[in-house]
Structure 1
């Protein structure tokens, strides 16, 4: 919904072969036991519904997880947020939440910064799979979801953000960033509407 100061937005046609990008629904973010996590059970459940829709249609799903293999990668980001150092490859925290039931053919991309596109090869994977649009959700709304949405736009993909699948520890930041993404970068589509529109794609 437009607010004072927002620019008018146009209608962007969605594609016929979308991909689902699940941003950082690893235990480091989905578990209340993690300092990075929160009470995001409803978001995980909503994402599982969305993933089921994609699997039924044979559309690709890509998962991202933050992993640090050494002490030097993305050092500025980690100095700013030292808690990120817990995301090491030998830990439970970097594994995708089992409730999302990652399938053997589905791709998990490792990343070290907010965007799932940056230095991961994700754009090339989408091109190789003939993807023409993307649906994005995950954790957290104001950080890695937003960064991934901005990059999806910059790679020229029509993009939907599903708010029920997005979680944020700061609810004001959650609402503000969903509004900002809708105002500038993507279409924010409620889960029931998204499922109906996806089911109608030929």
Structure 2
């Protein structure tokens, strides 16, 4: 059976979500940085393309989500282009793009929504997303569901993702696993890489052999 070809997607690992001084702070996010840094390095070694998907807002707030606007305004207009400090677009050293990596700026929660991600993945013949970053119920989940809808296999490294608390994290991981995502610990990816099964390839092979007339 055809092997999986994966791409590592790192979502919103920026100071504005990692720093306790930021109004957008996610309580679990900073703790995932060291392990996620190891995953990024392993992906590079294995020839898996790495995509850093981030948020940048315009200073006048015209592209900020309505549900986040008041908090964004009160918090000092976080995530402005070129910003530095606790409310900024800066990333930890372990999670900064290097030569050969891809950077995507997304305007909303899903890494696919109005971005070039799908186009680039298909040009690279990627069939499997490896999702990491923050937050699990928003950007990870939205990207997972869009990825499944676009006919990608989806693997989620659960301890490289984060939520505002553990109850939210667990509930969302259970939902994504139930809908068809593979949820695994980062240690499994670091030791074995992507799992051998390829559900997408299996379905394609079955459909190609099925002689049932289309309706």
CA RMSD of aligned residues (A): 2.3
Structure 1 counterpart of 2:68: 78
Structure 2 counterpart of 1:33: 21
Distance 1:173 1:99 in 2: 26
Q: Is the 8 A contact 1:161 1:186 kept in 2?
A: yes
Show structure 1 runs of 5+ residues with no match. Answer: 1-12
CA shift, 1:197, in A, is 2.8
Q: 1:199 to 1:123 in 2, by over 3 A?
A: closer
- Aligned equivalent of 1:65, options 54, 59, 62: 54
How do residues 77-156 of structure 1 correspond to structure 2 at under 5 angstroms?
A: 77-79=67-69, 81-82=71-72, 85-92=77-84, 93-156=88-151
Distance 1:71 1:34 in 2: 17
Q: Given the two structures, how large is their TM-score scaled by the length of structure 2?
A: 0.79
CA shift, 1:136, in A, is 0.3
CA shift, 1:51, in A, is 0.8
CA shift, 1:162, in A, is 0.6
Give secondary structure in 1 for the equivalent of 2:21.
Answer: coil
Bigger radius of gyration among the two: 2
Post-superposition Cα deviations, 1:98-149, rounded to whole Å, max 9, x if no partner, equal: 2224202211111121111101110011111121211001111111111111
Q: 1:75 to 1:159 in 2, by over 3 A?
A: closer
Structure 1 counterpart of 2:208: none
Q: Is the 8 A contact 1:23 1:138 kept in 2?
A: yes
- Aligned equivalent of 2:34, options 45, 55, 59: 45
- Aligned equivalent of 2:44, options 55, 63, 66: 55
Show structure 2 runs of 5+ residues with no match. Answer: 197-215
